[in-house]
Chains A and B, each alone.
Chain A
Amino acid sequence: MSFLDAGIEFAFSFDQLYDRLQSMPAPIRLRELIRTIRTARTQAEEREMIQKECAAIRSSFREEDHTYRCRNVAKLLYMHMLGYPAHFGQLECLKLIASQKFTDKRIGYLGAMLLLDERQDVHLLMTNCIKNDLNHSTQYVQGLALCTLGCMGSAEMCRDLAGEVEKLLKTSNSYLRKKAALCAVHVIRKVPELMEMFLPATKNLLSEKNHGVLHTSVVLLTEMCERSPDMLAHFRKNEKLVPQLVRILKNLIMSGYSPEHDVSGISDPFLQVRILRLLRILGRNDDDSSEAMNDILAQVATNTETSKNVGNAILYETVLTIMDIKSESGLRVLAINILGRFLLNNDKNIRYVALTSLLKTVQTDHNAVQRHRSTIVDCLKDLDVSIKRRAMELSFALVNGNNIRGMMKELLHFLDSCDPEFKADCASGIFLAAEKYAPSKRWHIDTIMRVLTTAGSYVRDDCVPNLIQLITNSVEIHSYTVQRLYKALLDDISQQPLVQVSSWCIGEYGDLLVSGQCEEEEPIQVTEDEVLDVLEGLLASNLSSPVTRGYALTAVMKLSTRFSSVNRIKKVVSVYGSSIDVELQQRAVEYNALFKKYDHMRSALLERMPIMEKTATNGPTEMVQTNGEAEPSGLESKHPPSITQPASQANDLLDLLGGNDVAPVIQTTPAAKPASAGGELLDLLGDLSLSGDPAPQVPVSQPSFLLDGVSSQPLFNDVAAGIPPMTAYNKNGLKIEFTFERSNTNPNIAIITIHASNHTETEMTNFVFQAAVPKTFQLQLLSPSSNVIPALNQGAVTQVIKILNPQKHQLRMRIKLTYTHKGSPLQDLAEVNSFPPQSWQ
């Protein structure tokens, strides 16, 4: 009875549900949505529509609506493409995948590929579905699963499913086999150690007739050969891969027209390209393999029809393979000539790839490429930026001692007319080439000046010091140079680098300029006042940058010893003593002092600069790399070498601790007197942080932290005497003990005194102790008592370390010890972690 009742109730509620379904509007179709979105006139309107639709989709998802799920996900994918968030559909995709319907699965897998992120939990959920589908009875479901796995399978998934993929790689169904091959590539990329697993399955891949399978198999073999040298050797020797590939390639060329694979009259160019690529990998650095493919490469190179892009694609690939393997010299010439022909092709794409590949081969076949120089230079005039850039790079690669004059003419012309985006690179290239191959110093200077006048504002900052150095070193043509630069300055004062170099030279060689002795050029007649007018003009001009003004002021100052009009110069200099530009003001004030207090030293100080030694980092060869951290010329070399050395040692130690995690380490040499130690330490810090600044000019301000150590008051008491000492190091007879104190004035500072003792029979000399701490600490090392540790514990070296630990972290320290024992230098590193808690809490 009750059962019957229940049945009636079911029927009733079913009717209700049915009514509901009829009356409830179904979610709109994808097409309707797209149509609606397309009517939106503004972005805001579109956003509003989409938000409304998203709300509807969300509620539909919440109600677990099966019938419309696939439609809703399809709509979400469309919104996702437009850039709207669709991640809330991720789980729905998984549900669709688990559905029995092909429609659902298809959209579900597509959604999974488009929407799923790298979250592991989602992947875990998917693995099982994919596994089932890989064993499905319909090949298209299997195909979908393979495709998805091959697109977004995580390492975990790949491990779990590699077995299924391997099975499918052996099937006779070509639709699945080709997908399995690419899926295997993905698996190998994610989990390289699974590579071996696919090795047996590769055996019969190349005997397949279907081109899709052949193509993907070649991709798989390429991946394996590229990833593992063992595999490469195996395929070369045991599998005889080269003859197999040669045979397939030969069949492709020889076989007549086959409508299946024909693309513009060529039989499966995609497969040919792939095979040529694999041959390149097999032939690289291997004489036998290269030998085996020489003939076929020659055949392809001569027989390929090149009226269409496809033919050129194959030819291009052949050329690359010829250049990369150990091919015969005749073949290489043939290859370069094909590229030469490419350069003359009407199709810009072909010209582009020709330039790209010539650039690759210019190192190995320099002379062969050189033959196409004029064509390459012509490409500089191309309208296409991609081609222009390649041509420029290639032109620079072709410059040598013999053609420098001609090439430079072309490149300077290019620099004149090219887009701004090229100027910086082109200018650097010209500097580099000129530096390397300049036929004469005068030519060199002329060239650089030409660059500065045409592309002055685009050149990199470091070219100014480089040019100044070059000019200084070319003593014989100083007067010529200064005259040229002066003339250039009269023409144009907007190119800052040029103005800077000119100012510097006028300051330096002003006397030569005024005396007008120049044997080569028509000498120009200038008076001292005219020169000063020009420099004053620079100082006042709006076009001048602060740096340029600095150069100009220094030039004026230097002229005070070269010209007779000292009073005028004094006036100019004093005017800038109140400049708003602090840098300029400082210079002016200093120069003023030079006139007044130190006038007796003035002429000596302003003497002509000596010829500069060429330093490695100053050379234009480093130009590209040093961009941005240009060294100020000359000044840097005034650093006493003794300072820079410990700095670099400290840096070494920083490296030990793993780079950014550590604070700078300060280490003093035993010879340093305490009073001067502060200054040196600052210099060290300066070197570490602001290496660009000329150190001697930095006003020394000592941090209070440092002063603590220098003052004589008793700063430390014995409250902390309870901290037990510890042994930090005990090895090879060298023992280092730490004793601890806490500062009275600042409880955050821990003072550690190290006692280094030696219980061997010979003394240890040149003892240096260095320490580094994590970044949250600050560490200061005071001078050690000595650098010799006497033998047999007859005394110890002591050194004080101060550690500022504001956050009261646990102390950690890495120490480096260097010393000489029994005549041989020793070095050791240690980590000290077991500091007593009282020392840091």
Chain B
Amino acid sequence: MIKAILIFNNHGKPRLIRFYQYFAEDMQQQIIRETFHLVSKRDDNVCNFLEGGSLIGGSDYKLIYRHYATLYFVFCVDSSESELGILDLIQVFVETLDKCFENVCELDLIFHMDKVHYILQEVVMGGMVLETNMNEIVAQVDVQNRMEKSEGGLSAAPARAVSAVKNMNLPEIPRNINIGDINIKVPSLSPF
């Protein structure tokens, strides 16, 4: 089982963290720091496996990572996963990102954290590999993104807000808005 997937840059700044086992927030950050510390001091010409991170589970666990330009992709797995298989999985994941973002770079990951999560969600689910067929992953993510877009998406929210107010059906207002509430609330809306 995959216990955690961490992406951070060469300075240890996290770009994506996904834990498939519950850890408290401060513990998560500690794990990221320790993992970065372990991984970053390794040369690029050594093997991609690392044992002995003390924080995630002890001797049964391995860190399997790949280093691409400015980013480290680290998968923390237990003995039920094939080491070499996970290496291929990281490759598949990165190639999928590349397909979705067209020449993916660190900035894409920074500004589209939610999208990266959605892509990962189609590759790994609950710590287990879900799908490795890149075309399938890209297709499913695309459809969902289009659905989101048709609703206006995250960024279209303000337009939606205005149109929502404009299109408000007057007779419906008494049902939706509590008059008393408005009278109390309006003054509290500071005009900043």
* Chain A residues proximal to chain B, CB less than 8 Å: 6-7, 9-11, 13-14, 16-18, 20-26, 29-31, 34, 38, 63, 67-68, 70-71, 74, 77-78, 80-83, 85-87, 101-103, 106-107, 110, 114, 117-118, 138, 140, 146-147, 150-152, 175, 178-179, 182-183, 185-186, 211-212, 215-216, 219, 260-261, 263, 268-271, 273, 277, 309-310, 312-313, 316-317, 348-353, 356, 383-387, 389
Which residue in A24, A82, A260 is a CB contact (below 8 Å) of B135? A260
Q: Does B105 contact A (CB under 8 A)?
A: no
Cβ B49 vs Cβ A349 within 8 A:
yes
Chief secondary structure at chain A's binding surface: helix
Q: Does B173 contact A (CB under 8 A)?
A: yes
Cβ B182 vs Cβ A13 within 8 A:
yes
Q: Does B69 contact A (CB under 8 A)?
A: no
How many residues on the B side are at the interface (Cβ–Cβ under 8 A)?
79
Cβ B126 vs Cβ A386 within 8 A:
no
Cβ B88 vs Cβ A349 within 8 A:
no
Nearest-CB residue, chain A, relative to B136: A212
- 7 additional A-B pairs beyond A20-B186, A85-B25, beta carbons within 8 Å, are A34-B111, A67-B164, A71-B154, A317-B82, A348-B48, A350-B84, A352-B49
Q: Hey, what's the 0/1 contact readout for B138-176 against A, CB within 8 Å counting as 1?
A: 001001100110011111011011101110101001100
Complex interface: chain B residues within 8 A of A219 (CB): 128-129
Complex interface: chain A residues within 8 A of B136 (CB): 212, 260
Q: B48-80: which residues lie under 8 A (CB-CB) from chain A?
A: 48-51, 80
Pull 28 A–B residue pairs with CB atoms less than 8 Å apart, ordered by A: A9-B179, A10-B179, A18-B165, A20-B189, A21-B161, A21-B165, A67-B161, A68-B161, A77-B114, A81-B14, A83-B26, A83-B28, A83-B29, A110-B121, A147-B125, A151-B126, A152-B22, A182-B126, A185-B126, A211-B132, A270-B132, A271-B132, A348-B47, A349-B47, A350-B84, A353-B83, A383-B46, A386-B50
| Complex Cα–Cα for A63 and B125 (A) | 34
| Complex Cα–Cα for A608 and B51 (A) | 49
Complex interface: chain A residues within 8 A of B166 (CB): 18
Summed over the interface, the residue pairs from A and B with CB atoms below 8 Å come to a total of 223
Which residue in A74, A86, A151 is a CB contact (below 8 Å) of B114? A74
Cβ B130 vs Cβ A178 within 8 A:
yes
Cβ B154 vs Cβ A215 within 8 A:
no
5 smallest beta-carbon distances between A and B, as pairs: A313-B84, A348-B47, A150-B126, A384-B46, A67-B161
Nearest CB of chain A from residue B98's CB, rounded to whole Å: 15
| Complex Cα–Cα for A17 and B188 (A) | 12
Complex interface: chain A residues within 8 A of B131 (CB): 178, 212, 215
Complex interface: chain B residues within 8 A of A13 (CB): 177, 179, 182-183, 186
Complex interface: chain A residues within 8 A of B127 (CB): 151
Cβ A16 vs Cβ B192 within 8 A:
no
Most buried by B among A6, A17, A185: A17
Cβ A185 vs Cβ B51 within 8 A:
no
| Complex Cα–Cα for A31 and B18 (A) | 21
| Complex Cα–Cα for A117 and B192 (A) | 35
Q: Hey, what's the 0/1 contact readout for B75-119 against A, CB within 8 Å counting as 1?
A: 000001011110111001000000000000000001101100110
From known contacts A270-B85, A386-B46, infer whether A81 and B189 are also in contact, taking CB-CB under 8 Å: no
From known contacts A24-B191, A102-B147, A182-B130, infer whether A16 and B186 are also in contact, taking CB-CB under 8 Å: yes
Cβ A269 vs Cβ B85 within 8 A:
yes
Nearest CB of chain A from residue B20's CB, rounded to whole Å: 7
Cβ B133 vs Cβ A77 within 8 A:
no
| Complex Cα–Cα for A120 and B74 (A) | 31
From known contacts A70-B154, A269-B88, infer whether A179 and B130 are also in contact, taking CB-CB under 8 Å: yes
From known contacts A71-B154, A212-B131, A316-B84, infer whether A349 and B48 are also in contact, taking CB-CB under 8 Å: yes
Nearest CB of chain B from residue A62's CB, rounded to whole Å: 10
Cβ A270 vs Cβ B179 within 8 A:
no
Cβ B88 vs Cβ A80 within 8 A:
no
Cβ B133 vs Cβ A17 within 8 A:
no
Complex interface: chain B residues within 8 A of A11 (CB): 170
Cβ A215 vs Cβ B46 within 8 A:
no
Nearest CB of chain A from residue B4's CB, rounded to whole Å: 12
Cβ A309 vs Cβ B24 within 8 A:
no
Which residue in A20, A182, A261, A270 is a CB contact (below 8 Å) of B125? A182
From known contacts A13-B179, A77-B114, A179-B130, infer whether A107 and B154 are also in contact, taking CB-CB under 8 Å: yes
Nearest CB of chain A from residue B54's CB, rounded to whole Å: 14
Complex interface: chain A residues within 8 A of B22 (CB): 117-118, 152
Which residue in A67, A260, A389 is a CB contact (below 8 Å) of B157? A67
Cβ A351 vs Cβ B165 within 8 A:
no
Nearest-CB residue, chain A, relative to B135: A260
Cβ B191 vs Cβ A23 within 8 A:
yes
